[in-house]
């Protein structure tokens, strides 16, 4: 049995050597994983590595085998750090406070027991605290859901549990001993204690390394799966985007085709109607009672044309938000053409002002013409027949741009509202309309980096104004 | 009708060539225009048009884009290569592609069907007025540095003020590239302001002067975020 007796210092140095070897191994593992638990574990190991030489030095002096405040506290701190290492990161901040308070309490009680000269109680208290922390580590590791299913977790839990139980036994035993009692006892008991101590160090580190590697593998696998899922989703989104684009293009093409197919016969009907108007004298037409029906027919065709143009332009505007067809456009010329697009019966009501000299902006003439036509249509609809509609084109010297303005006398009091320019919103549902007209006006204005506004003039007239920066 | 100092008789061309496969529309339009004293040549396809050499001498062209055989856009390009006369596209196509391709090929205006004959008439008047009674070569603007006059491709002159001459001369130095607002302000001794308003106002007034005097869009474009640049202008020290 004497051969089993090992020198205390040798074992302590061996323990320290093994601890440092594991610490280096774990230090190298930090290159592989960003696990914060690993870093806390490393801090714990380093704390133990500082504590142990102190124990060794203390053991060289009389009563050196009795635990002292600094190395004992370091061992307690080391155990507290290990507890922080095995719990989930989210709980760490709260637990760190608890541990700090526990260490402070430990130091205070230790000091009191030391001053009272109760050395056995002091030793028992130290071992008891260490036992409590070791069991808490085992508990923490068992409650860490992220470690579930990882190999090595069981080894870790069992090792800490067994250590905790042994330490509890030693604590109880120390309470009945005297001041010369030490953790590293004498004879066979000492050899068993050394063996268990080294075994515990070995097992918990093997367990922890296995857990870290297991976590790393799991994270890598999950990351790979997530990346594959992301790639799959991105591909799906791209495919969906292409499908949507194709559907939008198809819808637009169909809309164009439809409008083309409707426009062509409408064009011929209008041409035939004009031929009738041209060949039959106006007075004869009136005598036949056909003047009004013919005028009404013209109006209907104009309204259908406007509705078709609005529908296709609105669909196109929603898709594109830029001036694709920008060129120098004479606002006066466009205003004149927009007036020409209005029903013939309304021509006499519309007066163009300020169109005596050209006013150019960079714009899309087709869109501008439709926007102006819509403002004129709005003025015609919301004013009494025969009342004047004034279109004014002017230069705004303050804002450095051009203004297109339409005024009419409203049949009902008008309240300016930005919501009027929203899609499918109609000011007066009793008046025919799709709710697209003013939306197109606003969109055309935005495309030209301009503004659109409505107000009530001092004479009570309704004013709609488009501003285009030069 | 807006009176800009022209009489309709002076600006409406004596002969118009219509290329459209819609027989009814062409027939009614021909009668409408002939009733106004205009000689009309009508063709149902680009091929029919090309087989009639006299067609190219027409004073104005009304072209449909969707034609049997050769496309209307190609026909416009071919006409533009031989004639400076006005070209209006009358088409049922509404997409931006149709518009931009027609204008890029050389058309002067794009009208969507259905269209009333008075609208066609008005559009022809507008384009003819814009091009001038005697359409000239669609060339470049010229800036006479000594006289400070800017001459439009149609030969109309705009007399610039001293500051405007400095601004225009500075723009010309870059040969169509963007010139920063700061460089322009320094060249024309314009008092700098935080938001460049003084310079922008000067540029705005110059544009207006050019457009009012020449009745053509000023050959200056705003480069957003950079400054200004000229478009198709040559300098003439003369």
pLDDT score for B222: 84
B40 touches chain A (CB under 8 A): no
pLDDT score for B8: 40
* Domain end residue (candidates: A202, A232, A262): A232
Could you tell me the residue ranges of all domains in chain B? 8-131, 141-236
In sequence order, what are the beta bridge partners of A392?
A353, A405
**A272 to B217: CB separation less than 8 angstroms, yes or no:** no
d(CA B104, CA A157) in angstroms, rounded, equals: 80
d(CA A410, CA A423) in angstroms, rounded, equals: 22
Query: Is A240 inside any structural domain?
Result: no
pLDDT score for A426: 58
Domain count for chain A, please give it.
2
* Domain end residue (candidates: A213, A232, A251): A232
Å from B201 to nearest chain A CA?
7
* Fold of the domain built from segment(s) B141-236: Arc Repressor Mutant, subunit A (1.10.10)
**A309 to B94: CB separation less than 8 angstroms, yes or no:** yes
Instruction: Tell me the residue range of the domain where A426 lies.
Output: 322-469
pLDDT in tens, B185-224: 888 888 877 778 888 889 999 999 998 888 888 888 888 7
pLDDT at B40 over 90: yes
pLDDT score for A83: 93
CATH of the domain at A173: 1.20.1070
Structure-token pair, residue B158: 């705009």
Query: Is A52 inside any structural domain?
Result: yes
Q: Chain B, 15-34: which have a CB under 8 Å from a chain A CB?
A: 22, 24-25, 28-29, 31-32
**A365 to B109: CB separation less than 8 angstroms, yes or no:** yes
Residue scoring higher pLDDT (A133 or B114): A133
pLDDT score for A429: 55
pLDDT at B3 over 80: no
Structure-token pair, residue B170: 């500075």
- Provide CB contacts within 8 A for A273, sequence distance 6+: A294, A297, A298, A301
Q: Identify which of B24, B103, B122 has the shortest CB distance to residue A340.
A: B122
Question: What is the percent of chain A with per-residue pLDDT over 90, rounded to a whole number?
Answer: 28
Q: Identify which of A263, A275, A344 has the shortest CB distance to residue B31.
A: A275
Structure-token pair, residue A287: 């005598």
In sequence order, what are the beta bridge partners of B61?
B17, B87
> pLDDT tier at A398 (50, 70, 90 boundaries)?
confident
- Are the CB atoms for B28 and A271 separated by under 8 Å? yes
Q: Which residues of A touch B107 (CB under 8 A)?
A: none
Rounded to the nearest angstrom, the gap between the alpha carbon of residue A103 and the centroid of all alpha carbons in its chain is: 42
Query: Is A249 inside any structural domain?
Result: no
Mean pLDDT value of segment A229-251: 89
pLDDT at A89 over 70: yes
pLDDT score for A33: 77
**A360 to B115: CB separation less than 8 angstroms, yes or no:** no
| CA-based nearest residue in chain B for residue A275 | B28
> pLDDT tier at B36 (50, 70, 90 boundaries)?
confident
The chain-wide mean pLDDT, for chain A, equals 83
Are A198 and A92 found together in one domain? yes
pLDDT at A132 over 70: yes
Structure-token pair, residue A154: 């069981």
**A333 to B126: CB separation less than 8 angstroms, yes or no:** yes
d(CA A391, CA B79) in angstroms, rounded, equals: 37
The chain-wide mean pLDDT, for chain B, equals 83
In sequence order, what are the beta bridge partners of A351?
A390
Respond yes or no on whether ipTM tops 0.95. Answer: no
> pLDDT tier at B61 (50, 70, 90 boundaries)?
very high
Q: Where are the beta strands (DSSP E) in chain B?
A: 15-19, 39-43, 60-63, 86-91, 109-112, 141-144, 149-151, 157-159, 179-180, 220-223, 227-230, 233-236
Bond prior to B114 in cis (omega within 30° of 0): yes
B131 touches chain A (CB under 8 A): no
Distances (CA, A) of B209 to A376, B81, B205: 29, 32, 6
Element housing B1 (H / E):
none
Are A78 and A184 found together in one domain? yes
> pLDDT tier at A457 (50, 70, 90 boundaries)?
very high
pLDDT score for A325: 65
**A324 to B96: CB separation less than 8 angstroms, yes or no:** yes
B67 touches chain A (CB under 8 A): no
- Provide CB contacts within 8 A for B161, sequence distance 6+: B206, B209
Tokens 């320290």 belong to A16
A220-224, A297-301, B1-5, B192-196: which has the highest mean pLDDT?
Answer: A220-224
d(CA A296, CA A278) in angstroms, rounded, equals: 16
d(CA A41, CA B71) in angstroms, rounded, equals: 79
Q: Which residues of A touch B96 (CB under 8 A)?
A: 316, 320, 324-325
The answer to which of A180-189, A247-256, B154-163 has the lowest mean pLDDT is: A180-189
- Are the CB atoms for A454 and A463 separated by under 8 Å? yes
- Return the residue in B22, B29, B106, B114 with the most chain A beta carbons within 10 A, the one to mutate for interface testing: B114
* Fold of the domain built from segment(s) B8-131: Rossmann fold (3.40.50)
pLDDT in tens, A297-331: 888 888 887 787 777 777 666 665 555 667 788 89
**A260 to B92: CB separation less than 8 angstroms, yes or no:** yes
3-state secondary structure of A394: strand
d(CA A328, CA A160) in angstroms, rounded, equals: 84
- Are the CB atoms for A171 and A122 separated by under 8 Å? no
Count of other CB atoms within 10 angstroms of residue A424: 9
Q: Identify which of B4, B216, B222 has the shortest CB distance to residue A356.
A: B4
pLDDT at A231 over 90: yes
d(CA B182, CA A143) in angstroms, rounded, equals: 69
Closest CA to B18 of B77, B67, B84, B70: B67
Q: Identify which of A312, A333, A341 has the shortest CB distance to residue B94.
A: A312
Distances (CA, A) of B96 to A320, B33, B74, B183: 10, 29, 17, 37
Q: Identify which of B1, B35, B100 has the shortest CB distance to residue A324.
A: B100
Å from A454 to nearest chain B CA?
26
Å from A437 to nearest chain B CA?
17
> pLDDT tier at B2 (50, 70, 90 boundaries)?
very low
CATH of the domain at A415: 3.30.565.10
pLDDT score for A62: 45
Helices (H), A280-388: 282-287, 291-319, 331-341, 344-347, 365-381
d(CA A31, CA B143) in angstroms, rounded, equals: 71
Q: Which residues of A touch B115 (CB under 8 A)?
A: 267, 270
d(CA A182, CA A237) in angstroms, rounded, equals: 70
Mean pLDDT value of segment A116-124: 82
Mean pLDDT value of segment A331-352: 88
């Amino acid at each position: 049995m004497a051969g089993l007796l090992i020198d205390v210092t040798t074992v302590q140095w061996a323990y320290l050597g093994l601890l440092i070897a594991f610490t280096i191994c774990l230090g190298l593992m930090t290159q592989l994983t960003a696990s914060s638990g690993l870093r806390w574990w490393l801090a714990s190991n380093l704390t133990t590595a500082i504590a142990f030489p102190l124990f060794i030095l203390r053991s060289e002096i009389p009563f050196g085998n009795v635990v002292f405040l600094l190395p004992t506290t370091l061992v307690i701190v080391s155990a507290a750090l290990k507890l922080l290492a095995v719990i989930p990161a989210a709980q760490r901040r709260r637990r760190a406070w608890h541990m700090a308070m526990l260490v402070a309490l430990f130091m205070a009680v230790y000091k009191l027991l030391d001053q009272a000269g109760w050395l056995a109680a002091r030793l028992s208290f130290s071992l008891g605290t260490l036992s409590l922390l070791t069991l808490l580590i085992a508990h923490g590791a068992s409650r860490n859901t992220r470690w579930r299913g990882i190999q090595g977790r069981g080894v870790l839990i069992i090792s800490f549990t067994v250590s905790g139980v042994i330490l509890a036994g030693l604590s109880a035993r120390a309470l009945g001993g005297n001041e010369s009692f030490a953790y590293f006892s004498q004879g066979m008991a000492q050899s068993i204690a050394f063996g268990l101590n080294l075994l515990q160090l070995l097992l918990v580190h093997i367990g922890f390394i296995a857990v870290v590697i297991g976590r790393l593998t799991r994270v890598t696998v999950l990351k790979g799966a997530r990346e594959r899922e992301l790639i799959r989703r991105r591909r799906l989104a791209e495919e969906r985007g292409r499908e949507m684009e194709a559907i939008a293009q198809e819808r637009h093409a169909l809309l164009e085709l439809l409008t083309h197919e409707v426009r062509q016969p409408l064009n011929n009907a209008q041409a035939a109607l004009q031929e009738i108007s041209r060949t039959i004298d106006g007075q004869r037409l009136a005598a036949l009672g056909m003047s009004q029906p013919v005028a009404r027919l013209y109006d209907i065709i104009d309204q259908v044309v406007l509705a078709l143009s609005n529908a296709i332009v609105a669909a196109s505007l929603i898709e594109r938000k830029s001036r694709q067809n920008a060129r120098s456009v004479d606002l006066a010329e466009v205003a004149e053409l927009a007036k020409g697009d209005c029903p013939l019966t309304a021509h006499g009501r519309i007066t163009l002002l300020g169109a005596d000299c050209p006013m150019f902006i960079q714009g899309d003439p087709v869109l501008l013409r439709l926007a102006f036509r819509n403002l004129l249509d709005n003025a015609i609809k919301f004013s009494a027949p025969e009342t004047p509609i004034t279109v004014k084109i002017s230069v705004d010297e303050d804002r450095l741009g051009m203004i297109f303005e339409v005024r009419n006398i409203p049949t009902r009091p008008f309240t300016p509202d930005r919501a009027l320019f929203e899609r499918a919103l109609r000011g007066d549902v009793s008046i025919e309309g799709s709710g697209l007209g003013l939306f197109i006006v606003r969109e055309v204005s935005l495309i030209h980096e301009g503004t659109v506004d409505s107000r009530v003039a001092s004479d009570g007239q309704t004013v709609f104004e488009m501003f285009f920066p030069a | 009708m807006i009176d800009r100092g022209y009489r309709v008789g002076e600006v409406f061309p004596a002969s118009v060539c219509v290329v459209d496969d819609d027989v009814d529309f062409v027939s009614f339009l021909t009668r409408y225009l002939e009733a106004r004293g205009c000689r009309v040549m009508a063709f149902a396809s680009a091929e029919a048009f090309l087989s009639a050499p006299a067609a190219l001498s027409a004073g104005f062209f009304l072209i449909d884009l969707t034609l049997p055989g050769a496309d209307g856009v190609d026909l416009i390009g071919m006409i533009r290569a031989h004639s400076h006369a006005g070209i209006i596209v009358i088409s049922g196509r509404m997409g931006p592609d149709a518009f931009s391709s027609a204008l890029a090929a050389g058309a002067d205006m794009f009208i969507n069907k259905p269209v009333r004959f008075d609208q066609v008439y008005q559009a022809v008047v507008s384009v003819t007025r814009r091009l001038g009674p005697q359409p000239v070569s669609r060339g470049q603007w010229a800036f006479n540095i000594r006289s400070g006059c800017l001459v439009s491709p149609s030969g109309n002159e705009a007399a610039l003020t001293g500051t405007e001459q400095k601004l225009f001369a500075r723009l010309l130095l870059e040969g169509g590239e963007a010139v920063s607002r700061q460089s322009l302000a320094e060249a024309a001794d314009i008092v700098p302001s935080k938001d460049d308003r003084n310079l922008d106002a000067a540029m705005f007034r110059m544009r207006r002067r050019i457009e009012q005097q020449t009745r053509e869009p000023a050959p200056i474009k705003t480069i957003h975020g950079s400054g200004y640049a000229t478009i198709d202008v040559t300098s003439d020290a003369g």
